[in-house]
Structure 1
Amino acid sequence: MRYTAHDYQAQASEFILDHKEAAIFLGLGMGKSVISLTAIWELILDYFTVARVLVIAPLRVARDTWPAELAKWDHLEGLTMAVAVGSKKERLEALATGAMVTVINRENIPWLVAHYGDAWPFDMVVIDELSSFKNPRAKRFKELTRVRPHLNRIVGLTGTPAANGLMDLWAQFRVLDGGERLGRYITHYRNRWFTPDKRGGMQVFTYKPREGAEEEIYEAIADMTVSMKTTDHLTLPPLTMVTQMVEMSEAEARKYERLKKDMVLTLEDHVIDAANAAALPGKLLQLASGAICTADGNHVTVHDRKLDALEDLVEAANGENLLVAYWFKHDLSRIRERFPHARELKTSQDIADWNAGRIPLALIHPASAGHGLNLQAGGHLLVWFSLTWSLELYQQANARLFRQGQDQPVTITHLAVRDTLDEAVLAALEGKDTTQERLIDAVKTQLSEEK
């Protein structure tokens, strides 16, 4: 296919060419992969300034999206790519090809660094979903930081650089520039731009930006950062967000209230125990979804209200393909039991079949299918069976359908049980206040209101 770049895509590719360290913050569905590959092609085959490039991405994006993008566009001809995912044997075979571009999933970064040691062969790294390197304690962060001196160029791509707050930015830029702009140590970053927020005695649990910090941080990273919003550069089809409220019976609602107040509930022969305030929101969200995990690793069903609502939506779709996002494992098993034809999108073939219109009811988990997958060709209807409080995963999952290339109006429907924590999660997502502490506070607020 012939590539005709949008102005913003040409600008972003040029920015990568002109900057050895680049953070590309582009909105969801704006084509970060083809932007990067276009720059890589020029750096390797035109300017000869780069020899081998490593692309780090979420597993399915590494396996499916990057190879598909390379094969899709005519102007990338001549660029070779190997995909180093799967078994150790498969990864070693991919590395042995010596391809110009090697794509690997982020979980295998520690293995890759250990495999090459001091003989690190890549002079450029592209991190697809830079936000997955926001935890400085994660092994992937530490190992990539270790090989950073071997790199001549590095690019970070994401649409959600600070979904949970500005504190997330430090580790991402520490990987990119070695700490030049935001400091080499998170304590220095924190002391410079943040003040203590929530604390218990002398222990500080959270920090909040001090006045003016946001503008100063953005100014510090501006010289290496391109940031654009999807809505500023693309004309997307209409998006409709719908919340369908689901009602529990009085008996079911009493079980929810008992768990919320007592943090313990007996269901059949199982004692459901929320060990502490941090565990309670998860238990309540499970119960709202219709089932709850037991100590033996199974689950006990409380109600089928969301399954009934999903059945109505399937019928109302009238033959249109439906993509359903679920959060809990028992959601998956219960949906499959009610809809035997439902198919989880796990493999490359699953994704190809969905995009070809061959899967009328597809299931995805936002943590494994939230980033980078192109699913817009398969449908335009998304249902959130159960919710996540992660704004990043929520936005990324929605962007699987609401993105460039979608030619039909998109409808996203949330199934929420009335008078449960589902409503608090939706409010948190809408207000972009999505930390687990927000949910704990929501439970405390509900309890205090009832006293």
Structure 2
Amino acid sequence: MKYKPYDYQSYATQWIIDKEKAALFLDMGMGKTSCTLTAISLLLYDYFEVAKVLVIAPLRVAQSTWDEEAAKWDHLKHLKISKVLGTEKERIAALNKRANIYIINRENVKWLVDLYQNKWPFDMVVIDELSSFKSPKAQRFKSLRKVRPLMKRVVGLTGTPAPNGLIDLWSQIYLLDGGERLGKTVTGFRDRYFLPDKRNQHVIFSYKAKDGAEEAIYEKLSDICVSMKAEDYLKLPERINNIISVHLPEKVKEKYKQLERDLLLPLKDTDIIANTAAVLSNKLLQIANGAVYDEDGDVQEIHEEKLKALEDTIEAANGKPVLVFYSYKHDIDRIKKHLKREDLRVLDKPQDISDWNERKILIMLAHPASAGHGLNLQAGGNIIIWFGIPWSLELYSQANARLYRQGQKENVIIHHLVAKGTLDGDVMKVLENKELGQEALLNAVRAKLREIKGEKNNGS
């Protein structure tokens, strides 16, 4: 296929060529991969700037996206790509192949750094979904930090560089410039631009930006980071959000409320912290979906209302393919058992992506964490059903962008199955208001606790 880039794509490609440290903060579906591959090809064969390129990506993206994108365009078909995946033996064999680009999943970054140490062979490194390196405590960041001085060029790609706040930027930018712009340590960065926010005596849970900090940070990064939003550059079909209210029977509602009280009341005199809130909300959202893992890890089924709503929504699609996002493993088992459909597939391997895009699959189940980055699924359909809804705005947005992206020909319909009177409703409000997950989760759980304490004080 002949490559006819948009103006912004040509600009993004040139941005990478012109800068040894570069970040593209492009919205999902804007073609970050094709822009980067075009720049790599030019740097390899026109400018002779680099000889060996490493791409670090989420596993599913590493398995299929980069090589498929290169194979799609005439001007990129000459690139030799080796995927450093699988067993250690398979990974070493892939590294020994002659290629221009070597692709590895981020879970194996430590292994790769340990393998080469000071003999790092890659003069250009592309970090796909740079935001997954946002934690300075993570092993993948610490490992890559060691070999950063051995890289001539580094490119970071993401649509959401600061999913949980500006503090997330430090480690990402450090991998680009070695601390030149935001400082050598995250502590120094934090002290310079932030103030303690939520705290419990000496324990600080979160920070808030000082006045003017956001502008100052972005000014520091403006020479190496370019940010573009899809709505400014692309004409996409309409996106239609639809909430399908799932009404629970009275007995189920009573059971849900009782379980909610049982989980929350023991915490009535304590300050809810992030980990506790996550565990509680996880239980409540499982119940809203219709089942919950008990203390022994067994599945206890509570209701089938969401399953019935899912079946009705699939039927209303009139034979069109639907992409269903689930939250828990028991969701898969229960959906399969309830639907009894032979045309149902769980997204698990690259072949599933190909079959979906060739419209060989009518119902595909996917977890937003595994389908959330880089996968091109827009050719396979235009209908999404959220069976279980995540707190994470980043996960939610990335997952929707598998269909709502450049190349989509039809209006995208996104159905949300929301169990009325459950935590589902709170999650939807958070996503609609584009709030950040952790703080919103804490506030929602605290509100539920206040509500339950009020009920108890009123004698109910």
TM-score interval for Structure 1 and Structure 2 normalised by the shorter chain: over 0.9
Contact 1:24–1:157, Cα closer than 8 Å, also in 2: yes
Aligned position for 1:302: 302
**Whole-Å separation in 2 of the counterparts to 1:77 and 1:28:** 24
Deviations 1:218-269 (A, max 9, x none): 111111011000111111011001111111111111121112222189xxxx
Aligned position for 1:67: 67
Match of 2:86, SS state, is coil
Deviations 1:384-410 (A, max 9, x none): 100111111111100000001100110
Aligned position for 1:449: 451
- Work out the number of aligned pairs and report it: 442
Aligned position for 1:410: 412
After TM superposition, the structure 1 = structure 2 runs for residues 233-252 of structure 1, keeping only pairs within 5 Å, are 233-252=233-252
Aligned position for 2:58: 58
1:317 and 2:321 are equivalent in the alignment:
no
Match of 2:369, SS state, is helix
Shift of the alpha carbon at 1:278? Answer: 4.1
1:259 and 2:250 are equivalent in the alignment:
no
Q: Where does structure 1 lack aligned partners over 5 or more consecutive residues?
A: 266-274
1:164 and 2:164 are equivalent in the alignment:
yes
**Whole-Å separation in 1 of the counterparts to 2:358 and 2:430:** 35
1:123 and 2:109 are equivalent in the alignment:
no
Contact 2:277–2:441, Cα closer than 8 Å, also in 1: no
Shift of the alpha carbon at 1:441? Answer: 2.0
- Structure 2 residue identity aligned to 1:330: H
Shift of the alpha carbon at 1:277? Answer: 4.3
Aligned position for 2:35: 35
Aligned position for 2:269: none
**Whole-Å separation in 2 of the counterparts to 1:317 and 1:67:** 33
Shift of the alpha carbon at 1:314? Answer: 0.9
**Whole-Å separation in 2 of the counterparts to 1:432 and 1:298:** 35
Contact 1:164–1:391, Cα closer than 8 Å, also in 2: no
**Whole-Å separation in 1 of the counterparts to 2:258 and 2:66:** 49
Aligned position for 1:439: 441
Matching residue within 371, 380, 383 for 1:381? 383
Aligned position for 2:189: 189
**Whole-Å separation in 2 of the counterparts to 1:37 and 1:278:** 39
**Whole-Å separation in 2 of the counterparts to 1:144 and 1:256:** 46
Contact 1:323–1:364, Cα closer than 8 Å, also in 2: yes
- Normalised TM-score (structure 1): 0.96
Match of 2:417, SS state, is strand
- Normalised TM-score (structure 2): 0.94
Aligned position for 2:287: 287
- Structure 1 residue identity aligned to 2:197: D
Contact 1:323–1:361, Cα closer than 8 Å, also in 2: yes
Contact 1:258–1:264, Cα closer than 8 Å, also in 2: no
Shift of the alpha carbon at 1:276? Answer: 4.5
**Whole-Å separation in 2 of the counterparts to 1:338 and 1:356:** 26
Shift of the alpha carbon at 1:434? Answer: 3.0
Contact 1:391–1:429, Cα closer than 8 Å, also in 2: yes
**Whole-Å separation in 2 of the counterparts to 1:53 and 1:153:** 9
Contact 1:53–1:100, Cα closer than 8 Å, also in 2: yes
Deviations 1:111-159 (A, max 9, x none): 1111112211100000110000001111110111111000000000000
Aligned position for 1:272: none
**Whole-Å separation in 2 of the counterparts to 1:56 and 1:277:** 32
After TM superposition, the structure 1 = structure 2 runs for residues 172-183 of structure 1, keeping only pairs within 5 Å, are 172-183=172-183
Shift of the alpha carbon at 1:444? Answer: 1.8
Aligned position for 1:143: 143
**Whole-Å separation in 2 of the counterparts to 1:119 and 1:434:** 41
**Whole-Å separation in 2 of the counterparts to 1:253 and 1:137:** 42
Matching residue within 426, 438, 445 for 2:428? 426
Aligned position for 1:357: 359
Shift of the alpha carbon at 1:436? Answer: 2.9
- Structure 2 residue identity aligned to 1:390: S
- Structure 1 residue identity aligned to 2:389: L
Shift of the alpha carbon at 1:429? Answer: 1.3
Deviations 1:141-184 (A, max 9, x none): 01111110000000000001112111111111011111111111
Aligned position for 2:457: none
- Structure 1 residue identity aligned to 2:332: L
Aligned position for 1:271: none
After TM superposition, the structure 1 = structure 2 runs for residues 17-32 of structure 1, keeping only pairs within 5 Å, are 17-32=17-32
**Whole-Å separation in 2 of the counterparts to 1:394 and 1:116:** 37
**Whole-Å separation in 1 of the counterparts to 2:278 and 2:38:** 45
Deviations 1:257-313 (A, max 9, x none): 112222189xxxxxxxxx944421111011001100122222111001110000001
Shift of the alpha carbon at 1:448? Answer: 1.5
- Structure 2 residue identity aligned to 1:285: L
**Whole-Å separation in 1 of the counterparts to 2:143 and 2:256:** 44
Aligned position for 1:328: 328
1:211 and 2:200 are equivalent in the alignment:
no
Aligned position for 2:106: 106
Match of 2:295, SS state, is coil
Aligned position for 2:132: 132
Match of 2:23, SS state, is strand
**Whole-Å separation in 2 of the counterparts to 1:243 and 1:189:** 41
Match of 1:400, SS state, is coil
Q: Where does structure 2 lack aligned partners over 5 or more consecutive residues?
A: 266-274, 455-460
Farther off after superposition, 147-156 or 92-101: 92-101
**Whole-Å separation in 2 of the counterparts to 1:69 and 1:18:** 23
